[in-house]
Amino acid sequence: MSARLTCITAQQTHDAAYLDLLARGAYTGVVPEYEQQWGQIHPGPQTWAWTPTDTIVSFARSKGLTIEGHTLVWGAPDYPDLMPTWITTGTWSRESLLAVLREHISCVVHRYRDDIHTWRVVNEAFDEQGRRRDFVMQRVIGEDWVEHAFRFAHAADPTATLLYNDYGLEWGALHGGNREYDAVLEMVRDFLRRAVPIHGIGLQCHFDLQYSQLPHAADFSALVRSFAELGLRVQATELDVRLDHVAEDRSVNLRRQESVVDLVCDTIDAYRTGSVCVWGLSDGTNWLGAHATAAPYDVSNQPKPMAHRLGRVTRARLPSDRSGRD
Ligand code: XIL
């Protein structure tokens, strides 16, 4: 089984119930849920807020957990908490913005180089049509801002594993039907040809039981294989599966949720290239809200069928299971 991670907040490092779930599932690593987003860690030109990440790092150290960095640059201009207005509304030249990008990435990567060996460097640079998202880095620096982000991260820690992270590659059909996948694959091939330091792909894996977003087994396997064959690590970086948009019986939905998680874990585990990270352990803490019931444990911290495949917990039984499975 590949490594299993979950996101965690600085606050949750003191939350006994969350820590219990982490231990019960024998998770091997954590990812700061939002503390490292640019708007959090570097909210003003001269302002750095290290404490929340430091808290997570020392917690992880004390428990022997690995930590992945999330994320160095996310073009999320509508969320100032994630990408601050001093960046998105500043007046920049290509050179001045590149200098800020370099400084930001260098400082963050360098500070945590002893503890964080994998970074999700750039998050969501492409839209679902495979176009670069409209974002200040794209407008001012141009197409190569992504490549520069990877180069700056590599310069700050030449031993770190650097990932490109996105959410739409794994949604729905693959060949001929997924422009975002086509665009990311093309970018990665180009990076590898030109020795731009990229080492892996993070598939966020935010799924919805609504048919259109569910991966088909053949597509998901082909997706992972296509990057693995290029020598890249492929990770599921933010797995959750929401149930609230379909009207089926709960036990049917929980089984379908489990089968999506099985597919993701089977595929990632088979290629032995990466890890599976769930985006929040329980419905009470998952970013989508409790109604989405997208996490491995419910609001009472009881495991759902999907939980066993993520953490090392005994397969959960549904009330309708008479025979029992193990
Ligand atoms: C979410 C976090 O879970 C929230 O706490 C935060 O307020 C916003 O971001 N894709 C990503 C993650 O890459 O960083 C997002 O996490 C979920 C979507």
Residue whose CA is at the smallest distance from ligand 1 atom 6: 34
Predicted pLDDT at 313: 55
Predicted pLDDT at 213: 76
Query: 126 C-alpha to center of ligand 1: Å?
Result: 16
Return the ligand 1 atom nearest residue 71 CA: 14
Residue 51 burial (C-beta neighbours within 10 Å; 0-12, 13-18, 19+): exposed
Residues with CB under 6 A from ligand 1: 33-34, 123, 204, 238, 287
Predicted pLDDT at 316: 46
CB 296 within 8 A of CB 303: yes
Long-range CB contacts (within 8 A, 24+) of 135-141: 135/75, 135/77, 135/88, 136/75, 136/77, 136/87, 136/88, 136/90, 136/92, 136/97, 137/73, 137/75, 137/97, 137/101, 138/75, 140/92, 140/93, 140/94, 140/97, 141/94, 141/97, 141/98, 141/101
State the pTM of this model: 0.94
Beta bridge partners, 195, equal: none
In tens digits, the chain (326 residues) has pLDDT values of 789 999 999 999 999 999 999 998 889 999 999 999 999 999 999 999 999 999 999 999 999 999 999 999 998 888 999 999 999 999 999 999 999 999 999 999 999 999 999 999 999 999 999 999 999 999 999 999 999 999 999 999 999 999 999 999 998 777 668 999 999 999 999 999 999 999 999 999 999 998 777 888 899 999 999 999 999 999 999 999 999 998 889 999 999 999 999 999 999 988 876 899 999 999 999 999 999 999 999 999 999 999 988 876 544 444 444 333 33
CA dist list (Å): 177 to 128, 169, 171: 11, 10, 10
Query: 326 C-alpha to center of ligand 1: Å?
Result: 34
Query: 100 C-alpha to center of ligand 1: Å?
Result: 23
Predicted pLDDT at 273: 67
Predicted pLDDT at 126: 96
Predicted pLDDT at 319: 42
Question: CB neighbours of 107 closer than 8 A, spacing ≥ 6?
Answer: 42, 48
Pocket-testing residue among 5, 34, 81, 239, ligand 1, by greatest number of atoms within 8 A of Cβ: 34
Predicted pLDDT at 323: 38
Query: 185 C-alpha to center of ligand 1: Å?
Result: 24
Amino acid at 166: D
Lookup: tokens for 317: 């039984």
Return the ligand 1 atom nearest residue 120 CA: 13
Beta bridge partners, 81, equal: none
Predicted pLDDT at 310: 87
